[in-house]
Amino acid sequence: MANYTDWLKLYSNEDRKNHALRVAETAEKLAATHGADKDKVFIAGILHDIARDYSGKQLLESAEQFGIAVSDLERHCPVLLHGPVAAKIADARLHIEDKDVLQAIHQHTLAAPDMSLASKIVYLADAIEPGRQFNSIGELRELARYKLDSALLAAMDSGISYLLEKKEIIHPKTIEARNYYILNSS
């Protein structure tokens, strides 16, 4: 297995490299707080966006090559495929076999019902890494330290609010995940 500095070379964009490193470091801190495997979330954090700078055409072609089912919504907005494509690249080309790592990469954008601890942490780390700035970021960062599922739901709400404000599409998987966490919150 290569080390993370080698993996960062997969990014052509310096901003994306820096974002990936911040996500990995944030995930590692959250893992220490919530009892997750720090190595797994660090690796997932480093690799979560390796397909993010692919063009729409590249994402659709990669999805087809990897046998990823693509919905009409994803054909219209291929960037939604960058998590699943990144997970397949990590598996096929980087020989990452750990299911928790691959699932965390896959789910980091749209979320999913009943996510693993690693998936929750990487999803949140992507939302709250130090480079992110939005109105409720301080509260979300604080919540993530103490109440992971509440923070997860708040991050989904924030993301959905942002998409509504921008009049962008909201993937049904995100709505399904949000509903799951509402129905299953304590």
Examine the pLDDT at 12 and tell me if it is beyond 80. no
Q: What is the pLDDT of residues 119-160, one digit of tens each?
A: 999 999 999 999 999 888 999 999 999 999 999 999 999 999
Examine the pLDDT at 2 and tell me if it is beyond 70. no
Sequence-distant contacts of 163-169: CB under 8 A, at least 24 apart: 169/73, 169/76, 169/77
- Please state whether the predicted TM-score (pTM) of the whole model is above 0.75: yes
Q: How far apart are CA 120 and CA 153, in angstroms?
A: 10
Nearest to 3 by CA among 22, 30, 21: 21
| 4-183 under CATH 1.10.1240.10, yes or no | no
